[in-house]
Amino acid sequence: ATLLASTALAQGYPERQITMVVPFAAGGPTDTVGRLVAERMSEQLGQQILIENVGGAGGTLGAAQVAGAEPDGYTILLHHIGMATSETLYRELPYETTTAFAPIGLVTEVPMTIVARADFEPADIASFVAYVKENADTITMANAGIGSASHLCGMLFMQATESPIVTVPYRGAGPAMTELVGGQIDIMCDQTTNTTEQIKGGTVKAYAVTAPERLEILPDLPTTAESGLPGVEVTVWHGLYAPAGTPPEAVERLSAALQSALADPGIAEQLAELGTAPSPAEDATPAALEARLTEELARWKPIIEEAGVYAD
């Protein structure tokens, strides 16, 4: 019966619209990637993919919603490096990261930039670090909650500069960016998918990029490594997941649609303008995402335990 059901499902799947949960508020970097990819995937699948923004708790609320969803192929989750870090940051997660999801594939890997409100005094990264060390208790740093990429980058930055800055969590880097541009918050470490336009538009001031190499689109921005902050290196890999138990035929169909979407020249162009690139087809597969998640769970556990930073 199961084989029959899943075969029937595969022939007809998808028969109705699919929900893609983005575990952060609309308008942020994860939402930007989600909408770009969902639009192209729905063309491949012949069904609409509806974005549902479920913010809160650094992405773990949205992840929990998908972990508990019907495993029928009609609910998927776009999440990023936070899927790995939250497993250690939250000692009481309502789901088990390694068993609650069916990986579909890697999507993109986004560098981060250390930015400040446009009128922030320091002129360059060296004076920025000196200023932060001097004034940590009066500076405010935004993030998208414990478990977010902005939180992780901020944590690494605070460790490297030994500066316990006051952090302010938002339901996503979208709302946080609005307040940074408005000058209500001082600094943030955020993904280029959310900061490139603001940096080019001069509405925020950029100090460094957290990638191993400088970015083509922001050639004058030094890397953290060349700026005396070698430990502050974060590339935000993004993966697409379904709830565990989703029929393999549906997972395969979603992975194939993801691979086609990522091969679309328009996607590559749009992501390049935002400082990133689509994952290659061989990485947009369940096995590749499974392997990356396993690797990252092991990588960040000791770093977070060493920092002694927990959400609960």
Min CB(33)–ligand MLT separation in Å: 8
Return the residue of 9, 20, 28, 211 that touches ligand MLT, per CB under 6 A: 28
| Under 8 Å between Cβ of 206 and 183 | no
The answer to whether residue 275 forms part of the interface with ligand MLT (CB under 6 A) is no
Q: Applying CB under 6 A, does 30 fall inside the site for ligand MLT?
A: yes
149 counts as binding ligand MLT under rule CB under 6 A:
yes
Nearest residue to ligand MLT, by Cβ distance, number only: 28
Choose, by CB under 6 A, the member of 148, 163, 227, 285 that binds ligand MLT: 148
Contact 167, 154 (CB under 8 A): yes
Q: Is the dihedral of CA 21, 79, 267, 265 positive or negative?
A: negative
- Residues numbered 181 to 210 that lie near ligand MLT (CB under 6 A) are 191
Tokens of 217: 């689109």
25 versus 221: smaller Cβ distance to ligand MLT: 25
Q: Does 144 bind ligand MLT (CB under 6 A)?
A: yes
Nearer to ligand MLT, 58 or 247 (CB): 58
- CA dihedral 270→224→23→40, nearest 10 degrees, is 20
> Are 182 and 153 spatial neighbours (Cβ–Cβ below 8 Å)?
no
Q: d(Cα 202, Cα 209) in Å, to the nearest integer? A: 16
* CA dihedral of 185, 190, 193, 197, whole degrees rounded to 10: 40
**CA dihedral sign, ordered 259, 264, 267, 272:** positive
Per-residue x/- mask for ligand MLT, residues 91 to 130, rule CB under 6 A? Answer: ----------------------------------------
* Cβ at position 203, least distance to ligand MLT in Å: 17
How many residues at the interface with ligand MLT, by CB under 6 A?
Answer: 14
Among 13, 24, 128, 157, the residue binding ligand MLT under the rule CB under 6 A is 24
What are the phi and psi torsion angles at 223 (to 5°)? Answer: -80, 160
Gap between the Cα atoms of 170 and 268, Å rounded: 29
Reported as half-sphere exposure (CB side, CA atoms, 13 A), residue 98 has a value of 9
If binding is defined by CB under 6 A, does position 82 make contact with ligand MLT? yes
Residue from 88, 108, 150, 192 binding ligand MLT (CB under 6 A)? 150
Contact region for ligand MLT (CB under 6 A) — 2-10, 64-72, 143-151, 215-223?
Answer: 143-151
How far is it, in rounded angstroms, from Cα 237 to Cα 256? 19
CB of 7 to ligand MLT, least distance (A): 37
Q: What whole-number distance in Å separates Cα of residue 51 and Cα of residue 99?
A: 24
| Of residues 79 and 117, the one with the C-beta less far from ligand MLT | 79
Q: Which stretch binds ligand MLT (CB under 6 A): 96-104, 142-150, 196-204, 301-309?
A: 142-150
Interacting span for ligand MLT (CB under 6 A) from 93-101, 148-156, 258-266, 267-275: 148-156
CB atoms within 10 A of CB 8: 12
Q: How far is the CB of 16 from ligand MLT (least distance, A)?
A: 27
Question: Most distant CA pair in the chain: distance in Å?
Answer: 68
Q: Which of 70, 31, 64 lies closest to 50, judged by CA?
A: 31
The contact set with ligand MLT (CB under 6 A) reads 24-25, 28-30, 82, 144, 148-150, 172-174, 191
